[in-house]
Amino acid sequence: MKKISYEQLTARNAPQLKSKLEKAVIGIAGCGGLGSNAAIALSRIGIGKLILVDFDVVEPTNLNRQQYFINDIGKRKVDALEEKLKMINPFLQIEKHYEKLNGINIKFIFKEVHIIVEAFDNVSEKAMLVKAFAGNLFKGKYLVTASGLAGYSSANTIKTKKLSTNIFVCGDNKTDFMTEGVMAPRVMITAGHQANKVVEIIDKLL
Amino acid sequence: MKIFFEYLGLLHIKEIKNKSFLDVEPGSTAADFMTKLQIRKEHQKFISVFINDEEKSRQTILKENDRVKLFLPTGGG
């Protein structure tokens, strides 16, 4: 593989972000459609460290929206995603957890993160993560969650909204995959919103 | 007393305009408020409550002029 420098990788970034992105630690809760796309965006801009969490393996039905290839089928998502991220940004530190997040392990796995990207597909897991922010457990940390990215209605309905001082939600807050299906365009747009909100927070926080 | 109410997600709340002022009984908790809105029980367990830009428990007692936001995530990812 050809060698590049960190300076070359980040040469087109906003100059004021340079040292901030390198210091940032971001948790990716779920490495499916949202998580794989957000992680790739963050990897490209030179984020310091990603903590990837997913209990699943790549399946053929994932390929319509998730950043995996046919030869990834059967691999753990955290492993397949790590390969891609390292091919883009060899300076990225990656910590992988092949397990299901719950109310107990979440505080240990995400202990050092500045921001968590919620990228589950399941309503109960999404709710679990948002509720985990209700007490002091994640004081000082931020959550960028997603809700409403299904179907193919106007992309302009996907927004980033503030839920609280440290929680933001990206999506249209309406469309549901059970009735409308879930496909690459709106998933990637929503993941882009999440990654961009992460950058905005990093700029203010670090 | 009046509170300002907003919701995000498919809550199916009848006859309540999103982002509007509503009357609630003094001493009502967020849980009482959700029951008053007739939010389905199966939805209530997934709802997060935000009061004045802070996430709170559903046992929090509402106060005059509170800005109450209910968030029910929709699936997909």
Q: How many CB atoms lie within 10 A of CB A130?
A: 25
- Mean pLDDT computed over A57-75: 98
ipTM over 0.95: no
What secondary structure letter does DSSP report for A76?
B
pLDDT of residue A187: 98
The predicted model gives A63-73 an average pLDDT of 98
Residue A129's pLDDT is 95
Among B13, B14, B23, B2, CA closest to B70: B13
Q: Could you tell me which residue, A68 or B14, shows the higher pLDDT?
A: A68
Q: Which residue of A has its CA nearest to B10?
A: A174
pLDDT given at position A20: 97
Average pLDDT over residues A83-95: 98
Contact A121 B56 (CB under 8 A): no
A53 touches chain B (CB under 8 A): no
State whether residue A178 sits within 8 Å of chain B by CB.
yes
pTM across the whole model: 0.97
CATH of the domain at B53: 3.10.20.30
In this prediction, residues A87-114 reach a mean pLDDT of 97
Give how far B39 is from chain A: nearest CA, Å: 16
What residue ranges define each of the domains in chain A, with the CATH number in brackets?
15-205 (3.40.50.720)
Domain of residue B16: give its range. Answer: 2-71
Give the integer Cα–Cα distance in Å for A168 and A196: 11
A11-15, A41-45, A143-147, B42-46: range with lowest mean pLDDT:
B42-46
Instruction: With respect to residue B77, please indicate whether it lies within any of the assigned structural domains.
Output: no
Count of the separate structural domains present in chain B: 1
- Let me know if residue B27 belongs to a domain: yes
Task: List chain B residues with CB under 8 Å of A120.
Answer: 77
In angstroms, the separation between the Cα of residue B26 and the nearest Cα of chain A is 23
| Contact assessment for residue B4 and residue B51, using Cβ atoms and an 8 Å cutoff | no
* Pairwise CB contact (< 8 Å): A130 & B10: no
Q: What is the mean pLDDT of chain A?
A: 96
Range from A100-109, A137-146, A167-176, B3-12 carrying the lowest mean pLDDT: B3-12
Asked if residue B16 belongs to a domain, the reply is yes
A48 and chain B in contact, CB less than 8 A: no
How many CB atoms are closer than 10 A to CB A111? 12
